[in-house]
Structure 1
Amino acid sequence: MDEVMSGWAKRVAEAELGDGLPRRWAHSQGVAARAAEVGRILGNDADLLMAAAVLHDVGYARRLAVTGFHPLDGARFLRDEHGTDERLVRLVANHSFALLEAEERGLREELATEFPLLEEPLLVDALVYCDMTTTPDGGQTTAAERVAEIVDRYGADGVVGRFIRRAAPEIFAAVERVEAALAAQPR
């Protein structure tokens, strides 16, 4: 994967989110900006992280929202309409502990079978870090503030609220692992 992929990914994400969901597009751009900062810990996978970061929420686009579960809808779109790299599709499908939300929605088996989780812990953690330290408007935040914001926005008892509360310990652990990797890597 090279920088051509992240450029393509940005164009696709902007086409799907830019006009119809400008706040979601701002968030995606902020997540990509975080990916540019942390990509140094991933070596050759830095551009893959950038592409996944900008595309992670593409499944929110109205025309793509088939199941209403954006990781699954986005991954299917990337696979079916674009023939996208399998690793990128699997990152989008499983971003930020999506399997836990899929379980809340009765879609866990479908997601896990169709798009198995990548066995690349640092890459998966890096995408969690980028997503969970970026506000809905694309600014930087802490993972704790982001989780609290999601609970406030969706309600503690809704599907997303239940999911994010269950996922919070894993989110915080992933963020800590990335922060440790960043601290260990010379700038």
Structure 2
Amino acid sequence: MSDLIAQAQQLAGELLDSPALVERWAHVQGVGRRAAELSVTVQPAERNLLVAAAWLHDIGYAPGLAATGLHSLDGARYLRQHGYAPQLVGLIAHHTCARFEAAERGLADQLEDYPLDDGPLMDALVTADLTIGPQGQRLDVGERIEEILRRYPSQSPVHRAIQHAAPVLRAHVRRTLARLDRPEP
């Protein structure tokens, strides 16, 4: 295991492994494992970055970090303040089409401060996130999108954002699975 992945696992555990965030922590652990499986879809030099991003993608939900209501932005701010690489920070900021939720929350201008990677690396991160459910279980992308929509009421910015982003999210997953030479589930 690389130092970057070990550091990401440790930080995620420190921030998310608590009784209040049991499901979030289970999800993050599952996403970390799934990203390791999907790492073959990115360049070898980016594989550790992908897995580290998977471990860190939801740290913005941690008490003390959650400030804006947009967990991806809150996590990215924390990582930037602590000197993490801009590419990793950008992956956290923009994961799983955060730009849609940022627009819903009036935070799009703040998200623009972070670099957007919209290639195979982001595809794989989105796929890892959208093929793992809240208890760390494997789901297909359709099941995961439906689970998120059920969890958040229709007036929630998260619900509205996922509804609008669904075709883009599915495209991320489709591209990643094509790189694995497997059909979309």
Percent identity of paired positions between Structure 1 and Structure 2:
45
Cα distance between partner residues in 1 of 2:37 and 2:16: 23
* TM-score (norm: length of structure 1): 0.93
- Aligned-partner SS, 2:180: helix
Q: In the alignment, which residue of structure 2 is the partner of 1:56?
A: 57
Cα distance between partner residues in 2 of 1:83 and 1:127: 21
Q: Does 1:86 align with 2:86?
A: yes
RMSD: 1.2
Q: In the alignment, which residue of structure 2 is the partner of 1:67?
A: 68
Q: Does 1:127 align with 2:128?
A: no
Q: CA deviation at 1:28?
A: 0.5
> Counterparts in 2 of 1:24-43, with a 5 A limit?
24-42=24-42, 43=44
Q: 1:182 aligns with which of 153, 175, 180?
A: 180
- Aligned-partner SS, 1:21: helix
Report the residue type matching 1:97 in the other structure: C
Q: In the alignment, which residue of structure 2 is the partner of 1:139?
A: 137
Greater helix proportion: 1
Contact 2:35-2:125 at 8 Å conserved across structures: yes
Report the residue type matching 2:38 in the other structure: V
Contact 2:126-2:169 at 8 Å conserved across structures: yes
* TM-score (norm: length of structure 2): 0.94
Structure 2 runs not aligned, ≥5 long: none
Structure 1 runs not aligned, ≥5 long: none
State the number of aligned residues. Answer: 180
Q: CA deviation at 1:4?
A: 0.7
Q: Does 1:115 align with 2:111?
A: no
